[in-house]
Amino acid sequence: MAYLTAVFTASDKSYNVHCIREFTPEQFADHERVLADFVRLRQRFSLLHIVELNFAALMSFIHELESSQNPDKNRALVQANRHFMNYLSSSYALWQHLRTSLIRDFGRRSEQVLRFMKYIQLLEDNRFEYAFCQDFRNFVQHCGFPVGGMNLRHDRAGRVATVKYSKAALLTEYNGWEKSHLRGRPETDFDLLAIIKQHNRMVIQGFSVVIQAVYASNLDRIESYFLSLHKEAKRVHENAVAKVVLALPSSPEEGTITFEDIPANPLAELGLSRKHAKS
């Protein structure tokens, strides 16, 4: 059987495991369902957070480049390509993985899958930055590096980095611009940093809403359930955290105890706040 325990270090520095109660079979089955829902939601959000981290790393690199007194141009170009490739790869993987997850979880012809694919189509049809990044990722994957030209210019605010790619070069090197309709665009070159910033904003906001709508319908219950277990532990000791004991040693003198952690702050572990979770 499984047990809810309070685990804490006492004032004398001793490590304590206090058994609060034994789960009934029904209670433990419910616990496993809630935990599985939480783990699935955390997995769905994980790639979104990776995209966010890659975007932050790219922006940090640009800031470092603008602040450097004598940047190594060759190293800067390599680093810029690395950051752009990481961002484009993770953002592409995000929608591919989410589509695959929706198909696996709900079925290829399910409402969840059809609505998601309609949403992607609307982005590609109406938001150039999103459509461009879809095509640009394929260009980078198959044809060339993402940075066409990188320069530092001086203005009143200091040095400003620009990363661009000419339309003529993109059309010469690759012909798969079906989503972004590049040939008909009026621009002669494209500001890649401006495009990535817009793209990232759309992805982080839009995909977060999609994931919450599909997988987080019971998020309030998940949060309240885990917090209630930690409240039980706090009644034993103010510094205690709740853990589930899954296996006990055959004798108290020897063997190991198998613990299962309980999320202490479920929303934070998902990268959410109460405001975001309620949206």
pTM of the predicted protein model: 0.87
Could you give the CA distance from residue 141 to residue 131 in angstroms, rounded to a whole number?
16
Give the pLDDT score at 157.
Answer: 66
Could you give the CA distance from residue 64 to residue 86 in angstroms, rounded to a whole number?
18
Give the pLDDT score at 139.
Answer: 96
Give the pLDDT score at 67.
Answer: 87
Is the alpha carbon torsion for 192, 196, 197, 198 positive or negative?
positive
Give the pLDDT score at 255.
Answer: 67
Give the pLDDT score at 23.
Answer: 96
What residue has token string 């949403």?
A: 119
Structure tokens at 224: 């309240």
pLDDT in tens, the chain (279 residues): 899 999 999 999 999 999 999 999 999 999 999 999 999 999 999 999 999 999 999 999 999 998 887 778 888 999 999 999 999 999 999 999 999 999 999 999 999 999 999 999 999 999 999 999 999 999 999 998 999 888 877 666 678 889 999 999 999 999 999 999 999 999 999 999 999 999 999 999 999 999 999 999 999 999 999 999 999 999 999 999 999 999 877 666 666 788 999 999 999 999 888 764 444
Could you give the CA distance from residue 145 to residue 85 in angstroms, rounded to a whole number?
8
Give the pLDDT score at 99.
Answer: 96
Give the pLDDT score at 256.
Answer: 79
